[in-house]
Structure 1
């Protein structure tokens, strides 16, 4: 029996040897790298270099004009024992808790209502998102009038209910309530739109099956909506933590408007002095740029730690 002749292996495909200094990935795609280079150049000039300089500056004493003096870690050691800085941390955490928890809850309720609305959806979305794009300075001035002691809307409501007036911007807790209310009003619509986008990704079949099984709105919310919305809730919680712990414009403008002063002192007992405001005071009012840089790095570590804690807590609940 004759056997088939062996199949010859395919001839090797000739390859072009790369010449020394020839075309590599960068040379072949230089136009693409050139197109995206403005972003990296801007990030280098206005992001990376300032961050590196602030770290370098935190190791020196400098008033902004004279010669820098090496300080090493002495400013960080002073920061750890600075009672005013720890007081600002306490104020920031209290205001953050008073603003973030109600804000996220109200945002979720608004998102559920928007998701079930039939008419004027686009109008409601615009109305809820409008406070987030409104100037913080203008809003702070309006809230300063709302919480005014003599002619404020808040005290008018209290008088209508038969209660005594409250000097909102002249008492420590009144200041915190006013700042937290402003932040809640500003960011509720933003989080509601994000929650609405997450709600629209949940299949309607799950809600229909739950209704067939006899589940009510509350059970449906906690058994279907909340578990499936956990990644979105995590995102809003982390973002709200980062923005809330860096509050600056709200207390500054609100308390300046109330005191009719060009300088900021944080209100009575410095109750409205947040971490970023304390950084602003030390850096630009006292012209202590080195210590201000050390404060900024302390703020960065605190915000990073709280963001990680929130992320870990939500992730653990999701397991």
Structure 2
């Protein structure tokens, strides 16, 4: 005897694998983290050892000097690596789109390659490039400017630019691909009409290209803000998880990790994660508002 499934159940059965996986690996950790933010708990003591502490974890996070230091480092790296990405990717995308035609995909693929490369391999590569005695970066600086060798990994002033360069190098190709995709949606008729009216390349860029790809610029900037405030892999691997000299490259995500797994303060780490969630949400909202205001004024 075969069991017939009602037709009305079919859509729910088809999506049930995704819903189950999302509930187990997405929704449950999210809710557990929100609950844990109000608890004092060390995992080695068991679930029954949890103790409700109210807002103490949030107060601790907001009054912790290490959190503010990590936040300043994170904002510095987010701006120092994120802003150059777009300042380079946008004009480079316009150049590839106009100069190489159908061959632009080959060149954009070469720029995109660092994005899909292993973070460990990237950190090892740049660790060698930034080597104090034999690194190519120091040799190039000495040959051009005559500077002495810089100890990039042990100097609080040098390690931030080193991490920013790595993040820039890895993600500039991603933004390049975004902008190339947006440029290909712009109708060529607009440029032809502009040329007939006597508009030069710079006027075409300001009056046609920028307004046309503004939604993609908003998307790319939003991703850079979110990724910059969640920066973890590159500084963690480059500094062996310690944040470098004077903790100058310790980001909030790294401090959150150490708070949970080095100091066993999972309640404080959860509170810190939700504080960063609120900060990222606020900056994303402000970015969308800024772009919307510019669109209205235009």
- The TM-score range, normalised by the shorter chain, is over 0.9
Please report how far the alpha carbon of residue 110 of structure 1 lies from its aligned counterpart in structure 2 after TM superposition.
Answer: 2.2
Please report how far the alpha carbon of residue 206 of structure 1 lies from its aligned counterpart in structure 2 after TM superposition.
Answer: 1.1
Aligned equivalents of 2:179 and 2:103: distance in 1? Answer: 18
- 2:13 maps to 34
Aligned equivalents of 2:119 and 2:223: distance in 1? Answer: 18
Matching residue within 291, 295, 306 for 2:283: 306
Matching residue within 268, 272, 275 for 1:295: 272
Please report how far the alpha carbon of residue 301 of structure 1 lies from its aligned counterpart in structure 2 after TM superposition.
Answer: 1.1
**In the alignment, is residue 99 of structure 1 matched against residue 76 of structure 2?**
no
- 2:24 maps to 45
Measured against aligned partners, the alpha-carbon deviations of 1:216-274 in whole angstroms (never above 9, x if no partner) come to 21221111111111101000011111111101010011112xxxxxxx32112211010
Aligned equivalents of 1:295 and 1:255: distance in 2? Answer: 22
Determine helix, strand or coil for the equivalent of 1:120: helix
Please report how far the alpha carbon of residue 27 of structure 1 lies from its aligned counterpart in structure 2 after TM superposition.
Answer: 4.5
**In the alignment, is residue 198 of structure 1 matched against residue 177 of structure 2?**
no
Structure 1 unaligned runs (5+)? 1-25, 257-263
With normalisation by structure 2, the TM-score equals 0.92
Aligned equivalents of 1:122 and 1:75: distance in 2? Answer: 49
**In the alignment, is residue 154 of structure 1 matched against residue 131 of structure 2?**
no
Q: Which structure has the bigger radius of gyration? A: 1
Aligned equivalents of 2:96 and 2:20: distance in 1? Answer: 42
**Following superposition of structure 1 onto structure 2, how do residues 1-319 of structure 1 map, counting pairs within 5 Å?**
27-66=6-45, 67-116=49-98, 117-118=100-101, 120-164=103-147, 165-256=149-240, 264-319=241-296
Are the equivalent residues in 2 in contact too, given 1:245–1:303 (CA < 8 A)? yes
Determine helix, strand or coil for the equivalent of 2:101: coil
Aligned equivalents of 1:210 and 1:167: distance in 2? Answer: 52
Measured against aligned partners, the alpha-carbon deviations of 1:178-232 in whole angstroms (never above 9, x if no partner) come to 1111111111111111111110111111111222222221221111111111101
Please report how far the alpha carbon of residue 109 of structure 1 lies from its aligned counterpart in structure 2 after TM superposition.
Answer: 1.9
Measured against aligned partners, the alpha-carbon deviations of 1:142-181 in whole angstroms (never above 9, x if no partner) come to 1111112211111111011033132222222311111111
Aligned equivalents of 2:158 and 2:8: distance in 1? Answer: 60
Determine helix, strand or coil for the equivalent of 1:291: helix
Aligned equivalents of 1:167 and 1:214: distance in 2? Answer: 53
Q: Which moved more, 1:213-222 or 1:115-124?
A: 115-124
Measured against aligned partners, the alpha-carbon deviations of 1:130-151 in whole angstroms (never above 9, x if no partner) come to 1111111110111111112211
Structure 1 stretches of 4+ moved >4 Å = none
How big is the alpha-carbon RMSD for the aligned residues of Structure 1 and Structure 2?
A: 1.4
Aligned equivalents of 2:256 and 2:36: distance in 1? Answer: 14
Please report how far the alpha carbon of residue 122 of structure 1 lies from its aligned counterpart in structure 2 after TM superposition.
Answer: 3.0
Are the equivalent residues in 2 in contact too, given 1:107–1:192 (CA < 8 A)? yes
Structure 2 unaligned runs (5+)? none
Determine helix, strand or coil for the equivalent of 2:181: helix
